[in-house]
């Protein structure tokens, strides 16, 4: 591709993993001299400021709800014709489907999909989600390139009918300057949460979704408490209020009321990581490349993670990988880390940030993307 002019398309720029990755990539490409524009279905997301600070233009396509289909497709097509990019890069299923549907109206346009998940247990979701996945499998043949952020995601989608000859793996990029060990951030965040600086704190960070399997985390917390009464637990993330209430009621039934905190998601999530002694990722399915794991590791936090997605590839030996859905294994992993020596933890903080910087930097994400575009489009 001689000239690189790229338009990205995504539902919103709310604070979440895929949205943050798009912002990192768009900013990085812009810094390399690539012409970049980002189109959003819905405006108002907190990550818009990250793009604006990098001089990346945002186009608001003003989708008017779920059933605004024909009008929305026409507005998006007009934007692409006006912008005349070489590449339209969708992020996540909805934007990917829209990108392919524009192709007949702009025949020379290269369509790139961004696929973030793996091993989706679709029975846990509604009929629309299942239909969207089936539709994406059929439409994937009309893409020019499909970028998957994990090896597990590649295997899953190829097995379900995506064209493997058009798929390539590019892992996520992490801002290792932002996500780095920070004692002052630890102190500030604990003060905000009203948690003593010396307390032992184990947490789960992520949206409230069945995929994250908070119940296994809560069961593990109960098992840890039976051996270590001094440990506090925290769940950080947003989601459906009814699901939150169900989890809170479940935790009360496990006797966790005095030892657990519930906090909403926050834009400065790096401070939340730094406040933790151990991060737990108890996901049961669906993870590809876990931003949460990589960001926490970059902050020098040791992790216990279920063997889902590419967790084994991201984690260091000082972390613990356990089977999904096994609360006893999660509890044992937490205790193993808490019982480890302080000197080892200090060495880990430096090596952990170096590991992410070497293997999963934003620079690497940008250069890998440019190389793939150059060689495959």
Sorted by where each begins, the domain ranges of the chain are: 5-173+361-376, 183-359
In degrees, rounded to 5, the angle at the alpha carbon of residue 369 between the alpha carbons of residues 307 and 85 is: 130
**CA 377 to CA 1: how far, in whole Å?**
6
pLDDT > 80? residue 123: no
**CA 333 to CA 199: how far, in whole Å?**
19
Edge-first strand listing for the sheet containing 58-60: 58-60, 35-40, 5-10, 87-91, 110-115, 145-148, 167-169
pLDDT digits (tens, 9 = 90+) for 319-343: 999 999 999 999 999 999 999 866 5
pLDDT > 90? residue 318: no
pLDDT level of residue 1 (50, 70, 90 thresholds): very low
- Alpha helix positions (H), 282-322: 291-298, 311-314
pLDDT digits (tens, 9 = 90+) for 63-93: 998 889 999 999 999 999 999 999 999 999 9
Q: Which of 122, 123, 149, 152 is nearest to 136 (CA)?
A: 122
pLDDT level of residue 347 (50, 70, 90 thresholds): confident
Q: Taking a C-beta distance cutoff of 8 angstroms, is the pair 301, 274 a contact?
A: yes
pLDDT of the residue at 330: 98
pLDDT: is 225 or 287 the higher one?
225
Percent of the chain surpassing pLDDT 90: 83
Question: Please, what's the largest Cα pairwise distance for the chain?
Answer: 64
Question: Whole-prediction pTM value?
Answer: 0.90
Domains 5-173+361-376 and 183-359 alike in fold:
yes
User: Does domain 5-173+361-376 sit in CATH 3.40.50.2000?
Assistant: yes
pLDDT > 60? residue 33: yes
Coil, helix or strand at residue 8: strand
Mean local confidence (pLDDT), 260-288: 94
Per-residue tokens: 364 = 């690497």
Beta-sheet pairing, 200-205 with 35-40: unpaired
Kindly report the average pLDDT of the chain as a whole number: 93
Indicate the Cα dihedral angle 334, 326, 206, 303, nearest 10°.
30
H, E, C per residue of 259-292? HEEEECCCCCHHHHHHHCCEEEECCCCECCCCHH
Per-residue tokens: 121 = 């247990």
pLDDT > 80? residue 296: yes
User: Looking at residue 41, what DSSP letter applies?
Assistant: S
pLDDT digits (tens, 9 = 90+) for 300-315: 999 999 999 999 999 9
pLDDT of the residue at 80: 97
Coil, helix or strand at residue 171: coil
Direct distance between the N- and C-terminal alpha carbons of the chain, in angstroms, rounded to an integer: 6
Q: How many residues does the chain have?
A: 377
Please name the residues in contact with 82: beta carbons below 8 A apart, sequence gap of 6 or more: none
pLDDT level of residue 137 (50, 70, 90 thresholds): very high
User: Does domain 183-359 sit in CATH 3.40.50.800?
Assistant: no
In degrees, rounded to 5, the angle at the alpha carbon of residue 25 between the alpha carbons of residues 22 and 28 is: 145
Bridge partners (DSSP) listed for residue 232: 201
């Amino acid at each position: 591709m001689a000239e690189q002019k790229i338009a990205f398309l995504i539902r919103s720029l709310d604070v979440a993993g895929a949205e943050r990755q798009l912002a990192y990539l768009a900013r990085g490409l812009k810094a390399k001299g690539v012409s970049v524009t980002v189109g959003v279905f819905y405006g108002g997301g907190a990550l818009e400021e990250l793009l604006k600070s990098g001089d990346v233009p945002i186009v608001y396509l003003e989708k008017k709800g779920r059933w605004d289909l024909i009008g929305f497709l026409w507005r998006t097509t007009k934007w692409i014709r006006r912008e005349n990019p070489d590449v339209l890069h969708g992020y996540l299923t909805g934007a990917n489907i829209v990108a392919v549907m524009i192709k007949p109206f702009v025949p020379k346009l290269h369509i790139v999909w961004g696929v973030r998940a793996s091993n989706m247990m679709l029975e846990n979701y509604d009929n629309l989600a299942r239909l969207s996945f089936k539709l994406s499998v059929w439409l994937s043949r009309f893409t020019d390139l499909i970028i998957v952020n994990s090896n597990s995601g590649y295997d899953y989608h190829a097995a379900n009918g995506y064209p493997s000859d058009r798929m390539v793996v590019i892992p996520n990029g992490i801002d290792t300057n932002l996500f780095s060990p920070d004692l002052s951030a630890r102190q500030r965040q604990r003060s905000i949460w009203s948690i003593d600086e010396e307390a032992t704190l184990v947490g789960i960070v992520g949206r409230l979704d069945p995929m994250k399997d908070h119940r296994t985390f809560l069961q593990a917390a109960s098992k840890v408490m039976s051996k270590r009464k001094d440990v506090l637990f925290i769940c950080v993330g947003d989601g459906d209020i009814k699901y939150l209430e169900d989890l809170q009621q479940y935790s009360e039934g496990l006797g966790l009321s005095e030892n657990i905190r519930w906090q909403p998601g926050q834009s400065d999530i790096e401070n939340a990581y730094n406040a933790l002694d151990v991060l737990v990722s108890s996901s049961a399915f669906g993870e590809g490349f876990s931003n949460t794991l990589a960001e926490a590791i970059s902050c020098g936090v040791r992790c216990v993670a279920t063997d889902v997605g590419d967790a084994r590839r991201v984690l260091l030996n000082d972390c613990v990988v356990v089977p999904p859905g096994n609360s006893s294994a999660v509890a044992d992993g937490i205790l193993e880390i808490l019982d480890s020596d302080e000197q080892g933890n200090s060495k880990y903080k430096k090596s952990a940030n170096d590991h992410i910087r070497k293997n999963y930097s934003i620079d690497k994400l940008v250069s890998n993307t440019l190389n793939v575009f150059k060689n495959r489009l």
